[in-house]
Amino acid sequence: MLVFAVTLAGAAGALLRFAVDRMVRARLGPHFPWGTFVINVSGSFALGLVIGAGEHHLTGPSIPVVFGIGLLGAYTTFSTFAVDTTAFLQRGEWRPALANVGLSVTCGLGAAALGILVGGVI
């Protein structure tokens, strides 16, 4: 049953990622990977919430598995972040590459930490 729940949550996460990326690209354009940035930062916060709540026994043991691995594992995308950054570097576009790495890592870590903090008190 847990495998089925993770599978369904993964499908939902992939669809959510697709929708969020499209929405962000439509608003901000395709020149910088803002869609991937928004997805990874919001996913880091959400995973922090799930983990924080789980560590404080505010959820059952299957919630971090279903939402952390299934939904958020399919929603977030390190591989797209890596490919986007590499593409900038291959084109000699150092500033957007460094901005992508700096913003993604800094904001992602901050969002995860905030999520863990908030998840522990919900």
Query: pLDDT tens, 25-42?
Result: 999 999 999 999 999 999
At 60, the pLDDT band (50, 70, 90 cuts) reads confident
Structure tokens at 66: 């279903």
pLDDT of residue 83: 98
> Which ranges of the chain would DSSP assign to H, the alpha helix?
2-28, 34-55, 62-63, 72-75, 78-90, 94-119
At 55, the pLDDT band (50, 70, 90 cuts) reads confident
pLDDT at 122 over 90: no
Number of domains in the chain: 1
Residues 64-109: pLDDT tens digits? 999 999 999 999 999 999 999 999 999 999 999 999 999 999 999 9
pLDDT of residue 59: 83
Contact assessment for residue 34 and residue 25, using Cβ atoms and an 8 Å cutoff:
yes
pLDDT of residue 120: 87
Residue span of the structural domain in which 39 resides = 2-119
Distance from C-alpha of 5 to C-alpha of 80, rounded to nearest angstrom: 25
Structure tokens at 71: 């939904």
Burial class of residue 29 (count of CB atoms within 10 Å of its CB; 0-12, 13-18, 19+): exposed
Structure tokens at 79: 């591989």
